[in-house]
Amino acid sequence: MATQQRPLSPHLQIYRPQLTSVLSISHRITGVLLSAGIVPVVVWLVALSQGAEAYAGVMALFSHPVAIVFWVAWSFALFYHFCNGIRHLLWDAGLFLDLRGAYITGWTVVALAGVLTALAWGVWS
């Protein structure tokens, strides 16, 4: 094995976060949350298929104030991953690949995710 000094990866503890790196790791984190978030959606669909009694039980649980906090986080994660996913697809198409493009689309994603979450809850609640 080579023993020469190789450049080290940036140490996260002392590395100043940038918008680009924060949005990148946020895409993964929201992806993991949304993967887990499929479960309550499936629970809701199963309850709907099982009759009015099962449905009422699940809805009582899902409309609890703590559950509402979860659903708001769920919807923000959905809209964020949705918008940032489109940003990734645009990059894959070769668009916005310069630093300026990465920042403009990055802030757009943050703003859109917030606006879409607010709009959705305006309709949903």
Partner 1 sequence: MKFRHPLANALNHGAAGGGVGHWWAQRLSAMLLIVLTIWSVYAISVVVGSDYATARAWLAQPIHAGLAALFVIAALYHATLGLQVIIEDYIHQRALEMGLLVTIKLAAAITAVVVVFSMFAIASGV
On whether the CB atoms of residues 120 and 79 are closer than 8 A, the answer is yes
Q: Residue 93 — φ and ψ, nearest 5°?
A: -85, 0
Give CA 5 to chain center in angstroms.
Answer: 38
Q: Which of residues 76-95 bind partner 1 (CB under 8 A)?
A: 78, 82, 85-86, 88-89, 92
Least separation in angstroms between residue 5's CB and partner 1 is 23
Neighbours of 37 (CB within 10 A): 17
Task: Give, as ranges, the residues between 17 and 46 that touch partner 1 (CB under 8 A).
Answer: 28, 31-32, 34-35, 38-39, 41-42, 45-46
Check if the beta carbon of residue 88 is closer than 8 Å to that of residue 97.
no
Question: Please, what is the minimum distance in Å from the beta carbon of residue 57 to partner 1?
Answer: 11
Interface residue list for partner 1 (CB under 8 A)? 28, 31-32, 34-35, 38-39, 41-42, 45-46, 48-49, 52, 55-56, 78, 82, 85-86, 88-89, 92, 120, 123-124
